[in-house]
A and B are shown apart, each in its own frame.
Chain A
Amino acid sequence: MKTIYLDNAATSFPKPDAMLAAMISYQQTIGANPGRSGHGLCIDAGRIVYETREILARLFNIDDPLCLALTKNSTEALNIALQGTLKPGDHIITSAMEHNSVMRPLRFLESQGVKVSVIPCSPRGELDPDDISKAVRNDTRMVVLTHASNVTGTIFPIEAVGLRLKEQGDIIFCVDAAQTAGALPVDVQRMKIDILAFTGHKSLYGPQGTGGLYIRKGLEKKIPPLMMGGTGSRSEFEKQPDFMPDKYESGTPNTIGIAGLGAGANFISGKTIAVIRAKEEQLTARFLDHMIALRDRVVVYGLNNAAIQTAVVSFNVRNITPSDAALYFEEKWGILCRPGLHCAPSAHRTIGTFPQGTVRFSFGFLNTSEDADYAAEAIIGLINR
C-alpha cells in the first residue's frame, strides 16, 4: 500500500532534495560554529546563517535582514514576543482561533496580571476586523493574531487589521505566520506587522527546529530576551547584547538546520509564492469539490472555499469519531492525517467540535491531484465500510 502524507499543517513532508543537500554540505565541508571565532570555516558558517536571514527577509519584505532573529520554531518566537512585551496591567487582544503557542503564554501572563481579550470568531472561523478595532482600549499594548487557522485554514484579514491598528495608536501588531510563511504572501510593510513569528518546518520546507522572529527596527529595545548567554559578539561584556539579532540568539545556533531552512526558503522563492499558492489552492478546491457530493455524510468545517483558505480541510464523517476515522485512513488507505484538537481547543469550541475535534487533511505543494482524489475515495470508503 502506498503512503499519502496529508499532515503538512503539522510539518511538511517530503522536503525538497535541496534542503537535505544543504545540510549535508554544511556538515561535511564547514561544520564550524558561526561567529565564535575568526577562522575561515567559522566565517563560512556565519555566511550560511546570514544568507538564510537574507532569503527570509526578502520573502517577508523586511528591509534589514538583521531585524530577523532565528529561533527554534514559531513557539519560541511567540514566547519572546508575548512574555517579553507584556507587563502586568497591559491589555492584549487575540482571537478565538489561536494555537496554544499563543493561548498558553497568554493564559500564563493573565495569571500574572495581564488583561487578555479573546475576540470570538464566526462558526466558520472568520474574524471581523471591526471586532478587533472595537476591543482596543487605552491600555491595549498588543494585538496578536494567527495569519491562518491551523484547524479550518481560514485566512485572517491581517492587512485590514494592521492598517486600522496603525490609525488607532501605538499598538504592537504581532502575527503568527506558522501556517502561512511560504504558502501565502506575507509582507510586513504592507500588512503593518510589527512582530512576525514563523516556523521553518512547515511551508518554508526547512527542517524541524527552525523558525524566526522579526521585530520592527527599534521595538526590540522594549522586549527583553527570554534566554541569555553567549552570542559570539561583545564577549568582553557580561551584559547581554541589546541589539538584533544577537539579543535573542544566545547559545550555539542550529546551523545545520538553518542551512536547510535557507535551502527550503530558496526553493519557495524559486518557485514563487504565487505558483505555490495556485497549486495548493487547486488541490484544496479539487478535494472540496469531491466533498460536495458527500454532503449528507460529511461535515466540512470552515469556509469551504479554496480561494480564501489555506490547504487545510477539517471535517467529520457523521457518527464516526475523528480518531477512528484517522486509524481507518491509515490502515486501509495509507493516508496519514491528524485527528483531534490540533493544539487549538478554543478554535474547536468556535466551530462546535470541542472536545472530540475533527479529522484534518492538509495538503502541501508536493502533493498531487491524484492525492486529493485518493483522499476523497478513502472518505467514500469509510462511509461505505
Chain B
Amino acid sequence: MTDPSSQAVVLFASISHALRAEKIIKAQNISCKLIPVPRHLSSDCGVCLRFNLSDRNLLENILQGKLDFFEIMSL
C-alpha cells in the first residue's frame, strides 16, 4: 500500500467524465486508478480517480479545458 497522504483524488460530475479523464491521463503515462468515492469526501455514489499527489500540477494542466467540472481533494 502506498501512503495515503501522498495520494489525492479527482471528483467528477459523473462516471462518464471520470472515464474520459482516466483515458486522457493514462494516455500521458501518469498512473491513476478509479476507486469508489470515499464517504468522507462526498455522499455521491460514484467513482473518483486516485493519483499520486506529486502529479497534481501535471494532472490539473491536462484536464483543464477538457472537462467542465472536476475537483481535486487530498485523501
B55 at the interface (CB under 8 A from A): no
- Of A37, A50, A236, the residue contacting B16 (CB under 8 A) is A50
Query: Could you tell me which residues of chain B, from 4 to 51, have a CB within 8 Å of some CB in chain A?
Result: 13-20, 23, 34-37, 42-47
A231 at the interface (CB under 8 A from B): yes
B21 to chain A, nearest CB (A): 10
| Contact status A232-B68, CB under 8 Å | no
A242 to chain B, nearest CB (A): 10
A36 to B16 alpha-carbon distance, docked (Å) = 11
| Contact status B14-A236, CB under 8 Å | no
- A242 to B, closest residue via Cβ: B13
- A39 to B, closest residue via Cβ: B36
| Contact status A232-B43, CB under 8 Å | no
**Segment at the B interface, from A41-49, A297-305, A343-351:** A41-49
A158 to B19 alpha-carbon distance, docked (Å) = 33
B36: chain A residues at CB < 8 Å are 37-39
A236: chain B residues at CB < 8 Å are 42-44
| Contact status A46-B16, CB under 8 Å | yes
Number of interface residues of B (CB under 8 A): 23
Would A235 and B15 be within 8 Å (CB), given that A66-B20, A243-B69 are in contact? no
A233 to B14 alpha-carbon distance, docked (Å) = 5
A257 at the interface (CB under 8 A from B): no
| Contact status A49-B16, CB under 8 Å | yes
Would A233 and B13 be within 8 Å (CB), given that A37-B36, A38-B37, A43-B34 are in contact? yes
B17: chain A residues at CB < 8 Å are 66
- Of B13, B19, B45, B67, the residue contacting A50 (CB under 8 A) is B19
- A46 to B, closest residue via Cβ: B15
- A246 to B, closest residue via Cβ: B14
- Report which residue of B13, B20, B34, B67 has the largest number of chain A beta carbons within 10 angstroms of its beta carbon: B13
Contact flags A227-266 to B (C-beta < 8 A → 1, else 0): 0000111111000010101100000000000000000000
A15 at the interface (CB under 8 A from B): no
- B42 to A, closest residue via Cβ: A236
Q: How large is the interface on A (under 10, 10 to 19, 20 to 34, 35 or more residues)?
A: 20 to 34
B43: chain A residues at CB < 8 Å are 235-236
| Contact status B14-A50, CB under 8 Å | no
| Contact status A233-B69, CB under 8 Å | no
A49 to B16 alpha-carbon distance, docked (Å) = 8
A211 at the interface (CB under 8 A from B): no
| Contact status B15-A243, CB under 8 Å | no
Would A243 and B20 be within 8 Å (CB), given that A234-B44, A235-B44, A236-B44 are in contact? no
A322 at the interface (CB under 8 A from B): no
A37 to chain B, nearest CB (A): 6
A261 to chain B, nearest CB (A): 16
| Contact status A36-B45, CB under 8 Å | yes
| Contact status B20-A232, CB under 8 Å | no
- Of A42, A65, A241, the residue contacting B14 (CB under 8 A) is A241
- Of B23, B45, B66, B67, the residue contacting A232 (CB under 8 A) is B45
Contact flags A59-74 to B (C-beta < 8 A → 1, else 0): 0000011100000000
B47 to chain A, nearest CB (A): 5
List 11 A–B pairs whose Cβ atoms lie within 8 Å, in order of A's numbering: A34-B15, A38-B35, A43-B19, A46-B18, A49-B16, A65-B20, A232-B15, A234-B14, A235-B45, A241-B13, A243-B68
B residues at A contact (CB < 8 Å):
13-20, 23, 34-37, 42-47, 66-69
Q: Which 6 A-B pairs have the closest CB atoms?
A: A38-B36, A233-B14, A35-B15, A50-B19, A236-B43, A46-B15
